[in-house]
């Protein structure tokens, strides 16, 4: 039992600095090069959008909309970005604005064109014409 406890402690001892390094790198990249460079670097290092949002929100001079826009422009999945925003208290309005801004500024770099889909039913076209009853045509009614 002592061996297991010692191994776990050693694991935390060696892993903790590695975790702290990416956070320090992220902050330094943000300060030196801007969020547009810091986010792709963090994603390349294997960080998730949620981890990036958590650390990005700690940066007082960073607007959350710009953080999310940088995630979209870096090719992160829209569902992951939306989930990270939800988990960290970022409003839907900011998510939508960040997505729209990323499409304008980054165009093809945006990975998920359906990143924000409003809830609720969607109906294509105008309502069907007709007097009462069933206004849907079936193939059997055509001659």
Would you put residue 11 in left (φ > 0), alpha (ψ -120 to 50) or beta? Answer: alpha
Q: What is the pLDDT of residue 17?
A: 45
* 131 in a structural domain: no
Tokens read off for 64? 């959350």
Average pLDDT, the chain: 78
For the chain, the straight-line distance linking the first and the last C-alpha, in angstroms and rounded, comes to 82
* 129 in a structural domain: no
Q: What is the pLDDT of residue 107?
A: 81
Q: Tens digit of pLDDT for each residue in 26-45? A: 999 999 999 999 999 999 99
Number of domains in the chain: 1
* 140 in a structural domain: no
Q: Tens digit of pLDDT for each residue in 69-89? A: 999 999 999 999 999 999 999
Q: What is the pLDDT of residue 53?
A: 96
Q: Cβ contacts of residue 111 below 8 Å, gap of 6+?
A: 72, 75, 76, 77, 78
Cβ proximity of 65 and 101 under 8 Å: yes
* 22 in a structural domain: yes
* 48 in a structural domain: yes
Range of the domain at 60: 17-116
* 133 in a structural domain: no
Q: Tens digit of pLDDT for each residue in 108-131? A: 666 554 545 555 555 555 555 555
* 1 in a structural domain: no
């Amino acid at each position: 039992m002592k061996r297991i406890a010692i191994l776990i402690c050693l694991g935390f001892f060696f892993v903790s600095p590695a975790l702290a390094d990416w956070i320090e790198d992220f902050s330094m990249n943000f300060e030196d090069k801007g969020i547009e460079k810091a986010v792709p670097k963090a994603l390349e290092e294997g960080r998730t959008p949620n981890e990036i949002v958590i650390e990005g929100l700690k940066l007082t001079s960073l607007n959350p909309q710009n953080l999310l826009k940088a995630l979209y422009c870096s090719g992160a999945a829209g569902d992951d970005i939306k989930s990270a925003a939800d988990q960290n208290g970022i409003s839907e309005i900011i998510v939508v604005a960040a997505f729209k801004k990323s499409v304008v500024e980054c165009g093809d770099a945006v990975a998920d064109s359906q990143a924000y889909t409003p809830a609720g039913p969607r109906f294509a076209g105008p309502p069907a014409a007709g007097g009462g009853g069933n206004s849907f045509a079936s193939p059997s009614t055509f001659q």
